[in-house]
Amino acid sequence: MIRITPSKLLKIVFGVGLFVILCIGGFTYKHIQELSESTEEVNDTQTLRTELEHMVYNLKEAEVGHRGFLLTHDSLFLKPYHESRLKIDQNLKRLDTLIVKDKAQRENLNQLEQDIVKRFIIFNKSLNIATDDEILTKDILLLLHEGKIKMSRIRNDISVMLELENKLLHEQQKKNEEAIGITPLFLYSILILTLLLLLLAYAKINKDLMVLKKTNKDLKIFKTLTEQAEIVSKSGTWMWKIKDNTYHFSDNLYKLLGTEPQSFEPNLESIFKYVHEDDAEDLRQEISNMIKNEDLPFVTFRIVQPNGATKHLKAHAKLIDIGFEEKQLLGVAVDVTDEFDSFNLIQERNQELERNNKELSDFNYVASHDLQEPLRKIQTFISRLETNDGEQISEKGQFYISKIKSSSARMRMLIEDLLQYSRTNNADKDYVNTNINMLLEHAKHELSDSIESKGAIITNDNLPNLEVVAFQIQQLFINLISNSLKYSKEGIAPVINISHQEVRTNTVKDIEKSLFKYHHKISFKDNGIGFEQVYAKNIFELFNRLHGKTEYSGTGIGLAICKKIVENHNGVIVAEAEPNIGTTITIYLPFLK
Amino acid sequence: MKIALADDDEDDRFFFTEAFDELKVKSKVSTFKDGIELMHYLEQAENELPDLLFLDLNMPKKSGISCLQDIKANSRLKDLVIAIYSTSSSEEDVEHTFVLGANIYIKKPNDFEKLKKVLSEVVTTNWQYITSGLNKDNFLLRL
């Protein structure tokens, strides 16, 4: 369907209205023309009638003159006779011009003319005879008689003509009456039609006006919203009408430049007054490309506000030629200073982090190599001293040596655990689908000496395959099992049970914040010395110990490593314990079903 | 048996020679204090090549890794039996030296008795026989 736009409809209505009014004018003119024509015809008929009457009168004059002469032979009487003869000719001529159209009337006129000619022939004959004899002869009487007959014939002709004329007049009048009767009705109906059309157009235009009003209102609202949005988003808009090369800047664009809205002529040169001098050349290049290509990709540049503040702007524009009569480039400029600053800040932080990481790895190297070396020497020299000169040293001296030995052993343990802890930090996270049972076996193998010496019994459920960093999980198992072995009750063989089950995340409080739907729950339950439940959270913190160094040989790093490994795998580790009953360490590792 | 050790640490060289003295293995131990000195000796054609070379990794001037690479690139030296003798046993170092073709990796023990045990183990191994069956699992010596 073809959509008729309001302006098109207006044109149509105007066209139709104009046409109708022209039609009315035309019809009216034609009718008046017809009326005046018929009036003329009535006049003509009237003239014709008068002319005919004149002719009868003139004929009678001629007859009177003729008779007078016949009686007196006085030529005085001949004068009016001749005059009326001339007059009759004139009458005939006039009649001839009057009767141009009507064929029947013309035939009548011809008949009349012939009859008149014949009458005058008789007149002339009798006049000739009368001049000769000067008396009334039989011939003259005959001629007079004949003349009378001719005269009555002429009268008849005239009456026929008059009758015809009357008939014509009557018809004409009837026609006129009809025409005059129709004319007002016709004019009136056309007027009504025009009025109707006008009303329709008015209604339509009114409706469109309402729509226009609403659209206008919406546009006003939208404009206000856009202005608000510009203020909130620190952006401004601009338009470039390509054809007449004029610009329009939004109020907020002026504000972005640090000036009052519409305080200067919107054009490119005035913008460049604010552009940072280092960015001006690049921007000019971009703008000249924009003018050439009628497009502006994203550009960023700095501006200097009148108060001296430097801001970063990002601009972009797009050519719009649909819906507008001329092509326009619509653009947006955004103040990205904050983003820029925070980006710089992030970059600075990143560099700082990189530096820190580098320092950390340097520290790792120092710890693993340079710190261990002197320690190793101390231990080796002590072992030399012990084996070579053990007997010569006093008992006190031997006690000191044993203290040096245990201290250096402890230091070695600390260094090694710390290294382990930092390594779990930055290990390559190489997640591989691994049989966890195998990792548990490796862990048990690693600890086989102390398992044997303590006579520990370790039982476990069948464990699943998981996507893990294998060496970390193995380390986790080693740490958990060695903890159970270390904190076992004296004189009682440690019993460690490792159980597994799949749980729905929303059924367990400890993992309710997890985004995963399912978790593997793996618990390490022992019959060791346990601890007060209040410490359940603390034990996973670095260097946090619940026991004196001499009682148990922990460094306070083992469980912190465990926590880190579990967290590397998006899991959760929790502890549950009761003094003298035992400890259960549970790890939850998420998986997708 | 001719044994050579390249180690920048004087104490370690001292432990090493003492351990061999006490081991009562018929051996001639020569020590070098860095990689340059070692390579200088090895590259002289008239010098006798050791049966077993112990290489410390972290040395000034020329590192053990660099020495290892040079030895393996030298057709006369490439069949030398090489034991890495280092303080650290980091995964990287173990992996790297294995790939470069060292025969065994020893982490310096912190007990003299243990050192003696380790050295006697390495010295009594028939390397000509073992070389063909080198694998990564027993590359790092565990006692």
Name A213's Cβ contacts closer than 8 Å, sequence gap at least 6.
none
- The DSSP call for residue B120 is H
Task: Please give the pLDDT value at position A452.
Answer: 92
Across A200-214, A287-301, A546-560, least confident range: A546-560
| Percentage of chain B modeled with pLDDT above 90 | 31
Closest approach of B87 to chain A, Cα-based (Å): 6
- pLDDT band at residue B70, thresholds of 50, 70 and 90? very high
Looking at per-residue pLDDT, the higher value among A324 and A32 belongs to A32
Task: Please give the pLDDT value at position A585.
Answer: 94
Contact B87 A369 (CB under 8 A): yes
Q: Crossing angle, helix B10-23 and helix B112-124, to 10 degrees?
A: 70
Query: In angstroms, rounded to a whole number, what is the distance separating the alpha carbons of residues A336 and A557?
Result: 46
Query: In angstroms, rounded to a whole number, what is the distance separating the alpha carbons of residues A198 and A494?
Result: 106
- DSSP assignment of A142-207, as one string? HHHHHHHHHHHHHHHHHHHHHHHHHHHHHHHHHHHHHHHHHHHHHHHHHHHHHHHHHHHHHHHHHH
- The DSSP call for residue A137 is -
Contact of B29 with B3, CB cutoff 8 Å: yes
Q: Please tell me whether the interface predicted TM-score (ipTM) of this complex is above 0.95.
A: no
Query: In angstroms, rounded to a whole number, what is the distance separating the alpha carbons of residues A145 and A203?
Result: 87
How far are the Cα atoms of A54, A383, B3, B7, B110 from residue B113, in angstroms, in the given order? 177, 8, 19, 20, 9
Residue A495 has pLDDT above 90, yes or no: yes
Number of inter-chain CB pairs under 8 A, A vs B: 32
Asked if B13 is an interface residue toward chain A (Cβ–Cβ < 8 A), one would say no
Scanning every residue of chain A, which has its alpha carbon at the shortest distance from the alpha carbon of B12? A377
Residue A396 has pLDDT above 60, yes or no: yes
Contact B87 A377 (CB under 8 A): no
Query: In angstroms, rounded to a whole number, what is the distance separating the alpha carbons of residues A381 and B112?
Result: 8
Q: What's the whole-number mean pLDDT along residues A179-197?
A: 78
Q: What's the whole-number mean pLDDT along residues A217-236?
A: 91
Q: What's the whole-number mean pLDDT along residues A500-510?
A: 88
Contact A387 B112 (CB under 8 A): yes
* SS3 assignment, position B53: strand
Contact of A198 with A17, CB cutoff 8 Å: yes
A147 burial (CB, 10 Å; 0-12 / 13-18 / 19+) is: buried
Residue B109 has pLDDT above 70, yes or no: yes
Residue A249 has pLDDT above 60, yes or no: yes
How far are the Cα atoms of A73, A237, A313 from residue A334, in angstroms, in the given order? 132, 9, 5
Closest approach of A368 to chain B, Cα-based (Å): 6
Task: Please give the pLDDT value at position A428.
Answer: 61
* SS3 assignment, position A127: helix
Task: Please give the pLDDT value at position A378.
Answer: 92
- The DSSP call for residue A297 is E
Q: What's the whole-number mean pLDDT along residues A129-156?
A: 76
Tokens of A455: 């006579």
* SS3 assignment, position A514: coil
Chain B residues lying within 8 Å of A375, measured CB to CB: 110
Residue A575 has pLDDT above 90, yes or no: yes
Average pLDDT, chain B: 86
Name A488's Cβ contacts closer than 8 Å, sequence gap at least 6.
A454, A456, A494, A526, A527, A528, A529
Tokens of A388: 């070579």
β B81-86/B52-55 pair status: parallel
Asked if A138 is an interface residue toward chain B (Cβ–Cβ < 8 A), one would say no
Average pLDDT, chain A: 84
Across A6-15, A186-195, B91-100, least confident range: A6-15
Contact of A48 with A98, CB cutoff 8 Å: yes
Looking at per-residue pLDDT, the higher value among A416 and B56 belongs to B56
Which secondary structure element, helix H or strand E, spans residue B32, and what is its range?
strand B28-32
Contact B15 A380 (CB under 8 A): yes
Residue A87 has pLDDT above 90, yes or no: no
Residue A135 has pLDDT above 60, yes or no: no
How far are the Cα atoms of A388, B14, B54 from residue A381, in angstroms, in the given order? 10, 11, 21
Q: What's the whole-number mean pLDDT along residues A153-160?
A: 85
Q: What's the whole-number mean pLDDT along residues A35-41?
A: 78
Task: Please give the pLDDT value at position A1.
Answer: 44
Query: In angstroms, rounded to a whole number, what is the distance separating the alpha carbons of residues A262 and A244?
Result: 20
Q: What's the whole-number mean pLDDT along residues A323-340?
A: 83
Q: Which residues pair with residue A518 across a beta bridge? A: A504, A591
Closest approach of A352 to chain B, Cα-based (Å): 26
How far are the Cα atoms of A9, A16, A206, B115, B143 from residue A4, in angstroms, in the given order? 6, 15, 16, 103, 98
How do residues A255-287 score in pLDDT, each as one tens digit?
888 888 888 888 888 888 888 988 888 888 888
CA angle (A464, A468, A469) in 5-degree steps: 140
Closest approach of A413 to chain B, Cα-based (Å): 13
Query: In angstroms, rounded to a whole number, what is the distance separating the alpha carbons of residues A529 and A539?
Result: 14
Residue A106 has pLDDT above 50, yes or no: yes
β A235-241/A246-249 pair status: antiparallel
Name A529's Cβ contacts closer than 8 Å, sequence gap at least 6.
A487, A488, A489, A579, A580
The topology under which CATH files domain B2-138 is: Rossmann fold (3.40.50)
How do residues B15-57 score in pLDDT, each as one tens digit?
999 999 888 888 889 999 889 999 999 988 888 889 899 999 8
Burial A269-308 (b: 16+ CB within 10 A, else e): eebeebbeeebeeebeebbeebeeebebeebbbbbbeeee
- What are the domain boundaries of chain B? 2-138
Give the highest mean pLDDT range of A17-21, A36-40, A195-199.
Answer: A195-199
* SS3 assignment, position A401: helix
Task: Please give the pLDDT value at position A352.
Answer: 94
Closest approach of B84 to chain A, Cα-based (Å): 15
- pLDDT band at residue A92, thresholds of 50, 70 and 90? confident
Task: Please give the pLDDT value at position B130.
Answer: 61
Phi, psi of B104 (to 5 degrees): -155, 155
* SS3 assignment, position A108: helix
User: Would you tell me which residues 375-434 of chain A have a C-beta closer than 8 angstroms to some C-beta of chain B?
Assistant: 375-377, 379-380, 383-384, 387, 412
Nearest to A542 by CA among A526, A533, A529, A555: A555
Task: Please give the pLDDT value at position B132.
Answer: 55
3-state secondary structure A457-485: EEEECCCCEEEECHHHHHHHHHHHHHHHH
- pLDDT band at residue A189, thresholds of 50, 70 and 90? confident
Task: Please give the pLDDT value at position A6.
Answer: 61
3-state secondary structure A342-392: HHHHHHHHHHHHHHHHHHHHHHHHHHHHHHHHHHHHHHHHHHHHHHHHCCC
Scanning every residue of chain A, which has its alpha carbon at the shortest distance from the alpha carbon of B112? A380
Contact B88 A377 (CB under 8 A): no
